[in-house]
Structure 1
Amino acid sequence: MRQTPSITLSPDWPCQVTAPGTQDWDRTATRWLRDLLPARYGTYPTLTRHPVLLARHAELQLRHEVRTMRIALETSRAELPAMGVAASVIENSIRMYAVELQQLGRLSRGVRLVGDALRTHAAGRRA
């Protein structure tokens, strides 16, 4: 029976992706990365057939989502009252934006780790 080497993963490694080097790990990585993107990106074979490109695109997408959340968080108290949004709703939205910003940070770290592993895997196949 063939044993899989013991691999210690970063706490930021996504639980949906099996460890690099295990059977089908790159498929689980591709599936996870694809799920992070808007559904329409799943129709582009260039992205779905090239996991390294998919990881890069997911990194870019998350970077823009983080920027959007920061803007929403920073401007809520100044802009939402003029739109007729109640103070309690504004405070709830600020909490929501803060939680989402933390989640996006975790996802971004996971995408970077998975992308690095995919690039290492791709480089190993070319060598």
Structure 2
Amino acid sequence: MPTYVAPPGWPAPVRPPDAPDWERTAQSWLLDICPPEYRSYPALRRHLVVLARFAVLHVEASQVAVRRGLSEARADLRDVAALEVVDAAVQTWLAEEARLSGLRRAAGLVEEALRGRRFVARL
């Protein structure tokens, strides 16, 4: 019986590379992390490596936006929100930054697998 290996950071909804139906689960997950409009582009639905590249770039762009929001939050919000609201906004940006960091790793791993990389189990 074959052993399928997914590395740390691999997205839970995606089956490991070469497992039965793994590419379908990868496509579904990649479309879920992209803007809904991406589902309407035939090239992205037919070419998974291209979809993966789009997904990685989308997540990276979101990371840039979060970093900007975090760096500007206090100055931009101090005149329109109470201090505790600004602090809550900063905490939200920090939580989103952490989420996106994990998502970027996961999307990158899926892209690498779609490009042919295979992972080995480590002891």
With the length of structure 1 as denominator, give the TM-score of the two structures: 0.88
> In angstroms, what is the RMSD of aligned CA positions?
1.1
Unaligned runs of 5+ in 2: 118-123
Shift in Å at residue 24 of structure 1?
0.6
Taking only the aligned residue pairs, the percentage that are identical comes to 37
Residue number among 102, 107, 115 corresponding to 2:103 in the alignment: 107
- Residues 36-59 of structure 1, C-alpha deviations (whole Å, 9 max, x = no match): 011111000111111000000001
Alignment of 1:93 onto 2:96: no
Shift in Å at residue 77 of structure 1?
0.9
Alignment of 1:71 onto 2:68: yes
1:17 alignment partner AA: V
2:26 alignment partner AA: A
Task: Provide the rounded CA distance (Å) in 2 between the counterparts of 1:10 and 1:23.
Answer: 17
2:85 alignment partner AA: V
1:71 alignment partner AA: R
- Tell whether the 8 Å contact from 2:6 to 2:17 is kept in structure 1 after alignment: no
2:69 alignment partner AA: A
1:99 alignment partner AA: A
Shift in Å at residue 81 of structure 1?
1.2
Relative to structure 2, which stretch is displaced further, 112-121 or 31-40?
A: 112-121
Task: Provide the rounded CA distance (Å) in 1 between the counterparts of 2:85 and 2:4.
Answer: 45
Task: Provide the rounded CA distance (Å) in 2 between the counterparts of 1:21 and 1:80.
Answer: 49
Shift in Å at residue 98 of structure 1?
0.3
Unaligned runs of 5+ in 1: 122-127
Task: Provide the rounded CA distance (Å) in 1 between the counterparts of 2:59 and 2:35.
Answer: 11
Alignment of 1:50 onto 2:24: no
Shift in Å at residue 9 of structure 1?
2.1
Aligned residue for 1:124?
Answer: none
Residue number among 36, 39, 42 corresponding to 1:39 in the alignment: 36
Aligned length: 117
Of structures 1 and 2, the one with the larger relative CO (CA 8 A, separation 6+) is 2
**Runs of 4+ more than 3 Å apart:** none
Shift in Å at residue 10 of structure 1?
1.7
